[in-house]
Chains A and B, each alone.
Chain A
């Protein structure tokens, strides 16, 4: 048996996450003595250079934080400005926003589940190696991803950094013929994504559970995307405007990224598992039946099952997109005009990786006085560290390479968008030997 009384080891770069960063794990006597995400954080610069800019510039500027989830930033910043300016969106604009968000969820989830996370479970170094043996899996994922991108392109004007969204709505409404032209692909993808769930349900999932404090949006009738209050699994439900009263950011010595916690110090978990746990009853009957078929319970506490939850959420996004298209009415006018005034505004949406918070102060001329953005990966960072603290001792007897692999996989459970919250991730595990 391996002597685990006091050891050290190191591994190289953590791959298949968006962006770069560093992780160090130290163990002694079979126990984890230290877990540190060592990271740098550019979004704070965004908050700095937003000050002095016009209110309507914030959505497009913050969308540059991330190439994977620009809609999350476009909508979060727009919502916050609309809050500050007292803009009430029309029903048709709100529906169109939800429709484009379906596209982003599909694109992001398909990318992560097929190209970044599936190779972990199937024993491949990366998607390139996996594609050599299983090209059909990769091609199906890429086709699903492309359909999500196409939805974003038709509504947002282009798939990379959409340009048609603005404070108050959209610059122009998409052509009905273009939207309806998406339906055959969406119908194919709805069925294909159900097959993905059934296929991924056969993957070997490591045994590991934690009693997470889940935090997600909660809407009176919908699975949350753009609207709702901030709910938690301990029963706390607060309006978006009170988010900062209950979720605080703290500096930590080893990282320039801020860590989010409850004021009492508790870490929390945002993202698919949190949405799932707090909104299972808001999923469609089709998705709930699929979840039941593959053995996914209403509350999933094993983060390695996040690949399955994302896969079901992808099904939901296709189903929801088709529903929204069937009821589609072109928003006329496509945006609500703003009457500029001084104020403070808040916005939260459910980015694919979890809630993304925006708060802005603007003056009477519409100039931004202060900005605060809390992306989902920042909120999950302490939870990722806590996962590793509990995961490593359970698997300390694994061969070195396999343990390192599973540590990386545990980080990838969160689909961390380091580009959003950090900018350099390398994984290092030290087991201190005597």
Chain B
């Protein structure tokens, strides 16, 4: 049976560490093959459709300005910190989409964003050593949030 929570992995694998979220997919599925996962490589506006009507969602995205390798933010309760910069070049980014959904009262009841500190957002595939090293901790944090979401559903 599919999970009730949705995991959204944000970022382009063609922009180095921006693709770190996608690198979690195999590990998450190894822990729970039934986990529903959406990959969002570019246009963040698809979040409107992906999150609509959901009770629980965990988003994962690369960022700069975090200061530590991995951190989870409760975006259902409050906006992301202003000094956190998520990966991606689109101006209607993840932060804007989440805030627009908040304005419309359409954010899921439980929504977390797990930010992973990136170093290299240049062109091409492959992660920096720092981003790669953060993956086990990110998987642990994401798995914990997904388990919490399932328990509360």
Contact = CB atoms under 8 A, between A and B. Distances in A.
Interface of A: 13-20, 42, 45, 64, 66-68, 111, 115-116, 126-128, 131-132, 135, 138-139, 142, 145-146, 149, 159-161, 418-419, 423-424
A108 B115 CA distance: 28
Nearest to A150: B49
B81 to A, nearest CB: 16
- Max count, chain B CB within 10 A of own CB: residue among A42, A146, A160: A160
A118 B136 CA distance: 43
Contacts of A68: 42-43
A127 B41 CA distance: 22
Interface stretch (B23-31, B60-68, B88-96, B142-150): B88-96
Given A19-B89, A20-B89, A138-B104, A128 B96 contact: yes
A131 B92 CA distance: 14
A159 B49 contact: yes
B41 A145 contact: no
A154 B50 CA distance: 15
A14 B92 CA distance: 12
Contacts of B43: 18, 66-68, 160
A131 B103 contact: yes
B91 A16 contact: yes
B39 interface: yes
B100 A128 contact: yes
Contacts of B49: 145-146, 149, 159
A145 B100 contact: no
B18 to A, nearest CB: 12
Given A64-B14, A111-B92, A145-B49, 9 more contacts: A15-B91, A16-B92, A18-B43, A66-B42, A67-B42, A142-B104, A160-B43, A419-B89, A423-B89
A20 B45 contact: no
Contacts of B14: 64
A45 B122 CA distance: 12
B111 interface: no
Nearest to A13: B91
- Max count, chain B CB within 10 A of own CB: residue among A45, A115, A424: A115
A126 B87 CA distance: 20
Contacts of B46: 67, 149, 159-160
B89 A424 contact: yes
Given A42-B123, A67-B43, A126-B96, A18 B103 contact: no
Contact of B42 (A128, A145, A419): A419
Interface of B: 12, 14, 38-43, 45-46, 48-49, 52, 89-92, 96, 99-100, 103-104, 123
B44 to A, nearest CB: 8
A42 B49 CA distance: 28
Contacts of A19: 89-91
Contacts of B41: 64, 67, 160-161
Nearest to B52: A146
Contact of A45 (B89, B99, B100, B123): B123
A135 B38 CA distance: 27
Nearest to B90: A18
A142 B48 contact: yes
Nearest to A146: B49
A260 B92 CA distance: 27
A179 to B, nearest CB: 18
A145 B50 CA distance: 13
A13 to B, nearest CB: 8
Contacts of B103: 128, 131-132, 135, 138
Contacts of B40: 160
Contacts of A111: 45, 92
Q: Which 5 A-B pairs have the closest CB atoms?
A: A67-B42, A67-B43, A131-B103, A20-B89, A128-B99
12 contacts: A15-B91, A16-B92, A18-B43, A20-B89, A66-B42, A67-B42, A67-B43, A127-B92, A142-B104, A159-B46, A160-B39, A161-B42
A337 B73 CA distance: 50
Contacts of B91: 13-20
B95 to A, nearest CB: 10
A66 B88 CA distance: 12
Contacts of A142: 48, 104
